């Protein structure tokens, strides 16, 4: 898909809810459907590891169709920042061996930079290294597979 389409799918609250169906994630405050933009917030409610989670994120940087950043304002992490980058990719491959170029001949390389710090000091750092980092990577990859399927 072209970068603009990937950008919009990535900031779609509805697409995010669909991609996180396994955790029952839903938007409960702020922007609860449609596209989220610069300065706007969304509060997510979900269950991860059997625990109820409430997290409010704000879009703190927005450069259509190249990148946007969301950062936790309130929630389970000591800090959480997610930079979404969208680079034109005319290689004709989507990483699965399938032609990913779409009808306009242009594809997109989507790059996620996620930085987070767990709460609880040393114990939190141990949890990060033991499994939280892998779990976060799994969630991002699941979301991206879902978005690719929408295209």
pLDDT at 115 > cutoff 80? yes
Q: Is the dihedral of CA 2, 41, 27, 22 positive or negative?
A: positive
Given pLDDT bands bounded at 50, 70 and 90, which one contains residue 127? confident
Mean pLDDT of 54-75: 98
Q: What is the pLDDT of residues 75-111, one digit of tens each?
A: 999 999 999 999 999 875 544 444 444 445 579 999 9
Using CA atoms, how far residue 98 sits from 2, 94, 109, 122, in Å, is: 15, 6, 14, 44
Single pTM value for the model: 0.86
Mean pLDDT of 9-14: 98
Residue 66 tokens, joined: 């190249």
Length of the chain: 151
* Contact in structure between 4 and 14 (CB atoms under 8 Å): no
Domains of the chain from N-terminus onward: 3-150 (3.30.530.20)
């Amino acid at each position: 898909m072209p970068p603009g389409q990937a950008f919009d799918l990535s900031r779609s609250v509805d697409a995010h809810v669909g991609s996180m169906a396994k955790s029952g994630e839903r938007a409960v405050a702020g922007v609860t459907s449609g596209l989220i933009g610069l300065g706007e917030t969304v509060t997510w409610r979900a269950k991860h590891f059997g625990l109820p989670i409430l997290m409010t994120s704000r879009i703190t940087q927005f450069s259509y169709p190249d990148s946007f950043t969301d950062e936790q304002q309130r929630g389970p992490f000591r800090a959480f920042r997610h930079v979404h980058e969208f680079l034109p990719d005319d290689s004709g491959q989507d990483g699965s061996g399938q032609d990913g170029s779409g009808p306009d001949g242009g594809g997109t390389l989507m790059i996620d930079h996620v930085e987070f710090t767990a709460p609880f000091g040393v114990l939190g750092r141990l949890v990060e290294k033991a499994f939280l980092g892998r779990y976060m990577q799994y969630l991002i990859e699941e979301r991206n597979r879902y978005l690719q399927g929408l295209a």
